[in-house]
């Protein structure tokens, strides 16, 4: 089959491409930059889905937590449009395709659920309001919704923080922890929903390949931890102390309150559906994940 991945050039997309190619899929990426096995967003709206597309995935999205970007109205608009408009373009192309793909798997985030230190969230829980990120997640997910009569299976993966050496949060934190400057963020008591990038990719692949999978799936590991527990574990795996807390006011100053919520508060999210359909996590615990992510120092 041929899988079309919007935003497939990024951290998760690169790993997903590798896994899919190993399984003999052809992959084409929708990107803002030209290249091999790539089409542009303009090509997509002009010419529609590439011939033979059997599955569509969307991973496009301006990096929200870029500390170099001030949280201005323009940047906020970018963050929104890069997710919602790209998803809409893919939905439109799918609906207009003469021969429709079998499945559309779209990314969302656990930011959909309102932060809480007590509520346990499953896929059935409500959310999508109360702060910018939750509202964004709601609009992002609605943009991915295809009418049932289209006959295309719809899957939405609400991911926790995706952990892997190649990108995302770990790549940003690596030098900090390496220099011994790692530690809890804010109180450290906030939940830290997470998933290893390989499990995230396997979940996407599983969603592509299994006709029974549809609707929202929480993309989180079964091991529920707090931010402080994550810092401790990652510090230990790096053989570094991780006692330097990042105070709340600093996070608020650097990122602004809309984004600070993502780091200072968290959600207790259970991967109920993934466990139900028997998904096998390669990295079910944070210790396993940290061990894989920090071998550069003492094993390689």
* 271: contact with ligand NDP by CB under 6 A: no
Q: Is 4 in the site for ligand NDP (CB under 6 A)?
A: no
Task: Extract the tokens encoding 115.
Answer: 């932060």
Interacting residue with ligand NDP among 107, 154, 205, 227 (CB under 6 A): 107
Residue of 28, 162, 220, 289 interacting with ligand NDP (CB under 6 A)? 162
With CA atoms as reference, report the closest residue to 127 among 277, 257, 269, 21.
Answer: 269
226 binds ligand NDP (CB under 6 A): no
19 near ligand NDP (CB under 6 A): no
Alpha-helix runs per DSSP H in 3-70? 11-22, 41-47
Task: Give the residue, chosen from 20, 27, 55, 60, that forms a contact with ligand NDP under the rule CB under 6 A.
Answer: 60
Closest alpha carbon to 244 in 151, 152, 182, 300:
182
Please identify, among the stretches 48-56, 165-173, 176-184, 226-234, the one whose residues bind ligand NDP according to the rule CB under 6 A.
Answer: 165-173
Q: Does 7 bind ligand NDP (CB under 6 A)?
A: yes
Q: Directed axis angle between helix 168-178 and helix 227-237, to 10°?
A: 60
Task: Return d(Cα 282, Cα 47) in angstroms, integer.
Answer: 39
Nearer residue to ligand NDP within complex by CB, 9 or 91: 9
Angle at 231 between CA 225 and CA 236, to 5 degrees: 110
User: With contacts defined by CB under 6 A, how many residues of the chain interact with ligand NDP?
Assistant: 26
DSSP 153: E
Residues 216 and 109 sit within 8 Å (Cβ to Cβ): no
* 118: its two tokens: 């007590």
Applying CB under 6 A, which part among 17-25, 60-68, 243-251, 283-291 lies near ligand NDP? 60-68
- Of 152 and 161, nearer to ligand NDP (C-beta) is 161
**Residue 74 to residue 79: CA distance in whole angstroms:** 9
**267-291: b or e for each residue (b if 16 or more CB lie within 10 Å)?**
bbbbbbbbeeeebebebeebebbbe
Q: How many CB atoms are located within 10 Å of the residue 94 CB?
A: 22
Q: Which of 101, 109, 115, 235 binds ligand NDP (CB under 6 A)?
A: 109
Using CA atoms, how far residue 63 sits from 30, 78, 86, 131, 254, in Å, is: 17, 10, 14, 18, 15
Closest to ligand NDP by CB, 100 or 201: 201
Does position 101 interact with ligand NDP (CB under 6 A)? The reply is: no
Segment near ligand NDP (CB under 6 A); pick from 8-16, 114-122, 185-193, 207-215: 8-16
Q: Which of 26, 37, 48, 63 binds ligand NDP (CB under 6 A)?
A: 63
Residue 40 found at the interface with ligand NDP (CB under 6 A): no
Closest distance between ligand NDP and the C-beta of residue 9, in Å? Answer: 4
Binding region for ligand NDP (CB under 6 A) out of 31-39, 173-181, 246-254, 276-284: 31-39
**Which of helix, strand or coil describes residue 82?**
helix
144 binds ligand NDP (CB under 6 A): no
CB of 210 to ligand NDP, least distance (A): 21
**Interface residue list for ligand NDP (CB under 6 A):** 7, 9-13, 31-33, 59-63, 78, 82-83, 86, 107, 109, 159, 161-162, 167-169
């Amino acid at each position: 089959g041929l899988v079309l991945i919007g935003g497939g050039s990024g951290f998760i997309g690169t790993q997903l491409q590798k896994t899919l190619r190993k399984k003999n899929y052809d992959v084409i990426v929708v990107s803002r930059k030209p290249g091999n096995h790539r089409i542009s967003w303009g090509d997509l709206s002009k010419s529609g889905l590439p011939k033979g597309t059997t599955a569509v995935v969307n991973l496009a999205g301006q990096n929200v937590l870029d500390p170099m970007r001030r949280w201005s109205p323009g940047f906020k608009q970018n963050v929104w449009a890069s997710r919602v408009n790209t998803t809409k373009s893919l939905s439109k192309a799918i609906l207009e395709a003469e021969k429709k793909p079998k499945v559309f798997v779209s990314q969302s985030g656990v930011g959909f659920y309102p932060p809480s230190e007590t509520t346990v969230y499953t896929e059935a829980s409500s959310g999508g309001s109360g702060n910018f990120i939750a509202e964004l997640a709601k609009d992002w997910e609605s943009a991915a919704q295809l009418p049932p009569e289209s006959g295309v299976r719809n899957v939405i993966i609400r991911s926790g923080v995706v952990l892997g050496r190649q990108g995302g949060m770990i790549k940003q934190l690596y030098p900090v922890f390496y220099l011994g400057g790692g530690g809890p963020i804010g109180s450290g008591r906030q939940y830290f929903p997470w998933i290893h990038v390989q499990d995230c990719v396997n979940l996407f692949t599983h969603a592509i390949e299994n006709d029974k999978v549809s609707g929202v799936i929480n993309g989180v590991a079964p091991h529920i931890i707090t931010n402080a527990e994550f810092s401790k574990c990652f510090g230990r795996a790096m053989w570094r102390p991780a006692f330097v807390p990042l105070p709340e006011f600093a996070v608020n100053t650097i990122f602004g309150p809309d984004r600070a919520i993502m780091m200072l508060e968290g959600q207790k999210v259970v991967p109920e559906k993934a466990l139900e359909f028997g998904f096998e996590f390669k990295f079910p615990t944070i210790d396993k994940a940290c061990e894989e992510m920090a071998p550069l120092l003492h094993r390689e």
